[in-house]
Chain A
Amino acid sequence: MLRRFRLEEPTTVAEVAELLGRFGDSAKVYAGGTELLLAMKEGLVHFERLVNVKGVSGLNEVKQNNGEIHIGALCTHHELENSPILKEKLPALVKLEENVANVRVRQVGTLGGNLCFAEPHADPGTLLIALGARLLAEKGGRKREIPAESFFVDAYETSLEADEVLTQIIVPVPAQPAGVCYMKFGYLERPSVGLAVMVNLNTGRTEIDDIRIAVGCAGPAPKRVAEAEALLKGISVDEATRNIAQAGEMSGRASQAISDLHGAQDYKEHIVQVLLKRSFQNALSQCA
């Protein structure tokens, strides 16, 4: 049962930030509510005020701007899986969104809410790290961009300040020839391991110009695996393919996998290795 709370209905980002600043820990942003209301109904958390951000206009659009995609934080997963711009420019994100939780969650759950709640078994953060996305946080008249890889601090914890509002997710369109792939493994709806790879090849498609790898769900928060990237970057595709098992081991260790009902630590580390190999091959095949 939900305990009583007061619902605030601001219409601008500045009002949202002001309310969050004024009421501190006793207030929480309410977007789709798919995570927050569940926790509140269970009695795990209680807030005296929910700040409903759905009345703030302009935050549910996907736009293209100077080789980057700007995704409004209030876009639902359903809107993203059906976005023509994303289908053309970031099909890997569309595929991820098509497979988030279930149809009811996708209808109301927002990308911003998903990122800010920072539930460890969530998909989008991992892919956004691999894509080199930046998250735009606003409060008062101040805006700052947070790289996706430094947004997630720990389980349920982000680097957003208490009165900052996530308004946009900015994703650079990968420079061609490129391949992007997100794969996950798990039972039911919550993934136990998620892995994302973005590969950029040289124009001759023989060398790895750049690669970004991120791993999530296995540990407390998604993270970039720079040491595995270093092992694969600036070498031929063949050589990188030979190094992929070693990069997978590194990624497994970097995932900080936690033993739980989703699987034991060593099992999750092994799955990371398998998913890296498959996603790498998949990303390469997109460059052909």
Chain B
Amino acid sequence: MQFEKQVEIQAPREKVWNFIWDVDQFIACVPGCKEAKTLEEGKRYSATMVEKVGPFKVEFPTTIEVLEREELSRIKAQASGADNKIGSRMKLDLEVKLREEENKTVLQFIAGVDILGKLAALGHGIIKRKADQVLDEFAQAVKKRLEGDS
């Protein structure tokens, strides 16, 4: 499943860039994300993703690896995790791009999400919709946090 989200933030690019690397602040914007830890500064992180669709609940302990980093403009990362209780796996390829426009920053997310295993029984449409909602909420939360304290 491919997703693309873009959000305009009334804040300078440096501020947005620094925010992304502030794990505690950043993780607080990811719906259902908890227990974030830095394993290796700037390279490897871990977190637990908890998502719910009605009575269906998944908990993915996830490792996030930063694959590429271009100062102030681009990050490429990969995350994967497995919920052994339900027998499902999740893989996320994420590219984050930053672009400066007048006095705002355009933050773009390009995400490829794969859900494998029993969870797929819920149906592609339902999972895609949920993933889309999560990305939307995440983008809006980042905007709110950055603009809220500017």
- Is the CB–CB distance between A45 and B55 below 8 Å? yes
Q: In this assembly, does A124 line the interface, its C-beta being within 8 Å of a C-beta of chain B?
A: no
22 pairs, CB–CB < 8 Å, chain A vs chain B: A42-B121, A43-B85, A43-B87, A43-B118, A44-B56, A44-B118, A45-B56, A46-B85, A155-B53, A155-B126, A156-B54, A156-B55, A156-B56, A156-B126, A157-B54, A220-B126, A220-B129, A258-B123, A258-B126, A259-B125, A260-B124, A260-B125
B residues less than 8 Å from A44 (CB atoms): 56, 86, 118-119, 121-122
Closest to A259 in B: B125
Closest to A120 in B: B126
Q: In this assembly, does A261 line the interface, its C-beta being within 8 Å of a C-beta of chain B?
A: yes
B residues less than 8 Å from A117 (CB atoms): 54
Inter-chain contact total with CB atoms closer than 8 Å:
52
| Nearest CB of B to A266, in Å | 14
Task: Point out residues on A near B: beta carbons under 8 Å.
Answer: 28, 36, 39, 42-47, 117-118, 120, 154-157, 220, 258-261
Task: Point out residues on B near A: beta carbons under 8 Å.
Answer: 53-57, 85-87, 118-119, 121-126, 128-129
Expressed in whole angstroms, the Cα–Cα distance for A46 and B57 within the complex equals 9
- Is the CB–CB distance between A260 and B123 below 8 Å? yes
B residues less than 8 Å from A28 (CB atoms): 55
**Which of B54, B86, B128 counts the most chain A CB atoms within 10 A?**
B54
Given A118-B54, A156-B54: A258 and B128 within 8 A (CB)? yes
A residues less than 8 Å from B124 (CB atoms): 259-261
**Which of A117, A118, A154, A261 counts the most chain B CB atoms within 10 A?**
A154
| Nearest CB of B to A221, in Å | 10
Given A44-B86, A44-B118, A260-B124: A39 and B129 within 8 A (CB)? no
Closest to A28 in B: B55
Q: Which of A42, A46, A155, A258 sits near B54, CB closer than 8 Å?
A: A155
Expressed in whole angstroms, the Cα–Cα distance for A28 and B55 within the complex equals 9
A residues less than 8 Å from B54 (CB atoms): 117-118, 154-157
| Nearest CB of A to B56, in Å | 6
B residues less than 8 Å from A260 (CB atoms): 123-125
Closest to B54 in A: A156
| Nearest CB of B to A4, in Å | 14
B residues less than 8 Å from A155 (CB atoms): 53-54, 126, 129
B residues less than 8 Å from A156 (CB atoms): 53-56, 126
B residues less than 8 Å from A120 (CB atoms): 126
Expressed in whole angstroms, the Cα–Cα distance for A47 and B56 within the complex equals 11
Expressed in whole angstroms, the Cα–Cα distance for A43 and B125 within the complex equals 20
| Nearest CB of A to B88, in Å | 9
Expressed in whole angstroms, the Cα–Cα distance for A45 and B88 within the complex equals 12
Expressed in whole angstroms, the Cα–Cα distance for A117 and B53 within the complex equals 11
A residues less than 8 Å from B129 (CB atoms): 155, 220, 258
Expressed in whole angstroms, the Cα–Cα distance for A198 and B51 within the complex equals 38
A residues less than 8 Å from B57 (CB atoms): 45
